[in-house]
A and B are shown apart, each in its own frame.
Chain A
């Protein structure tokens, strides 16, 4: 069966510090991978989307970047965090070519102070 894990689950970072959130998927090959963010009082906003190694689509301009160094690994990064980067970050995967269903990780709560 397929599983998805992301870490760390919680982190508190000062403004201006770097960020690295990691996500891995097991039990499937060549998944589509996603990073979403849920900000306070808002819905889930798609940040990045990847259909393969090294292929990243950025959905919104922002202070963050994503990388996919391996087929089932997706990393969300920032060189210098802003207060507005605080939120709940969710990694997800889907079957390429299949309609709709995303499978989400447990989420990472980021607080920037």
Chain B
């Protein structure tokens, strides 16, 4: 029972363009959503979050959008940079987070 799904295992984008990573969830009780970035052999690092009472949160090049009716959230990275290449996990919950399977983003120069 995968409550948080990232249906795209990988995404390739050119430097300077927009990267859009998507995430779907099934549990309407989730009230907090986060995105994490992970490099190989390292722990994930927090990127950006959004509460269920909002539909958008922005932090520099990163914006997270939440569509509660569709149970969908997305992460936009503009402009994308080669250093953004990593695996991105979406997560949902309050204290105990449920993670998606991750999307590997490759930003090419």
Interface residues, chain A, with chain B CB atoms under 8 Å away: 32, 34, 36, 41-46, 49, 59, 88, 90, 92, 94, 96-97, 99-107, 109
Contact = CB atoms under 8 A, between A and B. Distances in A.
Nearest to B94: A99
A42 B45 CA distance: 18
Contacts, number: 63
Give the interface residue-count category, chain B: 20 to 34
Contacts of A32: 95
Given A44-B89, A90-B43, A107-B41, A99 B102 contact: no
B59 interface: no
Interface string B36-49: 00000111111001
A53 to B, nearest CB: 17
B46 A103 contact: yes
Contacts of A96: 95
A12 B89 CA distance: 27
